[in-house]
């Protein structure tokens, strides 16, 4: 709180998160309600929005380690603002289309890769390793507040304004985010150019660090499979809520906001909960909690037939899932940052992102295909099953019996 440069990063992150969450509501609603997107088209859109993690995720880490991270964050914000401005202009002039959304999603995902890798690699050097858990918790709390406020605001505004107008608000928030990050004063020291090695060698170092750490391997496997399940479900969420459950756009926004309250609670309780349960054991506990939480989403349909309002299981399940994800993420991200040498942070984070986020577009494509072939509800149960399998690498490991996470020698082979 008293670190001036962290406050500037925090403000920039808050603005970016707010805009991203508004877009998270507005773009899919625009695709489904205005462009008549099918299940397969929504799967393609979900894949496009995360494809860059699979395509350029690995070299991005080596590139970020060679860049000034503050400038990388600013450039990513400006690119995302420009691309979303194109979406707004096309929509307002009657030229909006699904192929345009796919193209914009691809560019935004590329900018997001660089932003996320630079962001996670920037925090330890900005605040110091002794404050990294506190810093990550505050940033996660900001993300959770945005997840609560933005969808509710977006859902209400969609009653009176068109979805593209909401996307325009995201353009403004990205520009303000870039301005806030631009005020950070800390000077970064880049590695000397003559010390650089071939790109493939530096990429390999990041991957080797991840795969050689036994606990990190299990965590990455769990996260990767969990995100694969998320991609399956996310591809169909808007269609499921608007078409199958019969809720309107405002209700969708309120459901997303209600579910995100769990994320806010998770950000607040992560530190004391980790001390009580154990910073190692909290990782498999969070993974296990995600299974029944996600199951409440497909259960909303039969429960609605039994007289339970569909929004109730959606909100409760979303809240539990958000809480589980936040607790899990704060613990495992902080562990990664403590474990990794500073010079390798960008490549390590990119390697992890490549593995764990690279499954999102694959999940989105599978979700769209299964949704078209089997139907939305059976596809959601497939996502629940994958989430259960995802928990096994950390549940069936020493982590479940440990309180403290080990800190091996980061330079050891």
- pLDDT (tens digit per residue) in 149-159: 666 666 666 66
> What's 391's domain CATH number?
1.20.1250.20
DSSP readout, 213-244? -HHHHHHHHHHHHHHHHHHHHHTTHHHIIIII
Count other Cβ atoms within 10 Å, centred on residue 193.
7
pLDDT digits (tens, 9 = 90+) for 182-236: 777 766 665 565 555 666 776 777 777 777 778 888 888 999 999 999 999 988 9
Q: Which residue has the tokens 């209700």?
A: 251
Contacts 24+ apart (CB under 8 A), 242-248: 242/29, 242/32, 242/33, 243/32, 244/301, 244/376, 244/377, 245/300, 245/301, 245/304, 245/310, 246/310, 247/310, 247/311
Single out the residue of 4, 128, 118 nearest to residue 60, CA to CA: 118
Q: What is the pLDDT of residue 369?
A: 94
Residue 411 in domain: no
Report yes or no: 78 and 178 within 8 Å, Cβ to Cβ.
yes
Single out the residue of 322, 382, 371, 390 nearest to residue 147, CA to CA: 322
Which residues span the domain enclosing 24? Answer: 4-183+200-401
Domain count for the chain, please give it: 1
Report yes or no: 386 and 225 within 8 Å, Cβ to Cβ.
yes
Residue 256 in domain: yes
Count other Cβ atoms within 10 Å, centred on residue 272.
9
Residue 85 in domain: yes
Residue 189 in domain: no
Report yes or no: 236 and 380 within 8 Å, Cβ to Cβ.
yes
C-alpha distances in Å from residue 321, one per residue of 227, 234, 297, 328, 372: 13, 13, 10, 11, 26
User: From first to last of its 413 residues, what are the pLDDT tens digits of the chain?
Assistant: 666 677 777 777 778 777 777 777 778 888 888 888 899 999 999 888 888 878 887 777 777 777 777 888 899 999 999 999 999 899 888 888 999 999 998 998 888 888 877 776 676 666 665 666 666 667 666 765 666 566 666 666 666 566 777 788 888 889 998 888 777 776 666 556 555 566 677 677 777 777 777 888 888 899 999 999 999 998 898 899 988 888 877 777 777 776 667 777 776 777 787 778 887 788 888 899 999 999 999 999 999 999 999 889 998 988 888 888 888 887 777 777 677 776 676 677 767 778 888 898 999 999 999 999 999 999 999 999 999 999 999 888 887 887 776 665 544 43
Residue 412 in domain: no
Give the SS3 label for residue 198. Answer: coil
Single out the residue of 30, 138, 58 nearest to residue 351, CA to CA: 58
Residue 195 in domain: no
pLDDT digits (tens, 9 = 90+) for 292-327: 999 999 999 999 999 999 889 998 988 888 888 888
User: Across all residues in the chain, what is the average pLDDT?
Assistant: 80
Residue 188 in domain: no
Report yes or no: 86 and 104 within 8 Å, Cβ to Cβ.
yes
Q: What is the pTM of this model?
A: 0.75
From the centroid of its chain, how far is CA 123? Answer: 17
Question: Which residues have a Cβ under 8 Å from the Cβ of 52 and sit 6 or more positions away?
Answer: 106, 109, 110, 112, 113
Residue 36 in domain: yes
């Amino acid at each position: 709180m008293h670190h001036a440069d962290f406050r500037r990063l925090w403000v920039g992150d808050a603005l970016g998160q707010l805009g991203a969450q508004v877009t998270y509501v507005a773009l899919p609603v625009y695709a489904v309600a205005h462009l008549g997107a099918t299940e397969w088209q929504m799967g393609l859109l979900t894949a496009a929005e995360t494809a860059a993690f699979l395509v350029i995720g690995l070299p991005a880490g080596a590139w970020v380690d060679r860049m000034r991270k503050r400038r990388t964050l600013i450039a990513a914000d400006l690119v995302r603002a420009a691309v979303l401005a194109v979406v707004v202009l096309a929509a307002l002039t009657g030229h909006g289309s699904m192929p345009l959304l796919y193209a914009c999603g691809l560019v935004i995902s590329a900018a997001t890769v660089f932003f996320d890798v630079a962001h996670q690699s920037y925090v330890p050097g900005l605040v110091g390793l002794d404050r990294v858990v506190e810093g990550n918790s505050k940033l996660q709390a900001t993300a959770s507040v945005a997840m609560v406020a933005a969808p509710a605001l977006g859902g209400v505004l969609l009653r009176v304004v068109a979805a593209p107008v909401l996307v325009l608000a995201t353009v403004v928030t990205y520009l303000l985010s870039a301005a806030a990050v631009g005020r950070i004063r800390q000077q970064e020291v880049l590695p000397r150019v003559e010390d650089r090695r071939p790109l493939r060698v530096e990429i390999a170092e990041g991957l080797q660090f991840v795969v050689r750490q036994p606990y990190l391997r299990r965590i990455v496997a769990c996260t990767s499979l969990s995100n694969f399940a998320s991609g399956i479900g996310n591809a169909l969420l808007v269609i499921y809520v608007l078409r199958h459950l019969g809720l309107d756009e405002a209700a969708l926004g309120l459901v997303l906001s209600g579910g995100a309250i769990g994320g806010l609670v998770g950000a607040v309780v992560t530190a004391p909960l980790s001390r009580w349960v154990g910073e190692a054991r909290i990782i498999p506990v969070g993974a296990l909690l995600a299974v029944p939480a996600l199951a409440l989403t497909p259960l909303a349909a039969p429960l609605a037939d039994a007289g339970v309002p569909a929004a109730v299981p959606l909100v409760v399940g979303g809240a539990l899932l958000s809480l589980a994800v936040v607790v899990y993420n704060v613990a495992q991200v902080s562990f990664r940052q403590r474990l990794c040498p500073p010079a390798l942070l960008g490549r390590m984070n990119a390697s992890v992102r490549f593995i764990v986020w690279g499954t999102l577009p694959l999940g989105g494509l599978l979700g769209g295909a299964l949704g078209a072939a089997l139907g939305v509800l059976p596809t959601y149960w497939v996502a629940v099953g994958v989430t259960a399998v995802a928990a096994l690498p950390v549940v069936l490991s020493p982590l479940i019996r440990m309180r403290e996470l080990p800190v091996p020698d980061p330079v050891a082979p």
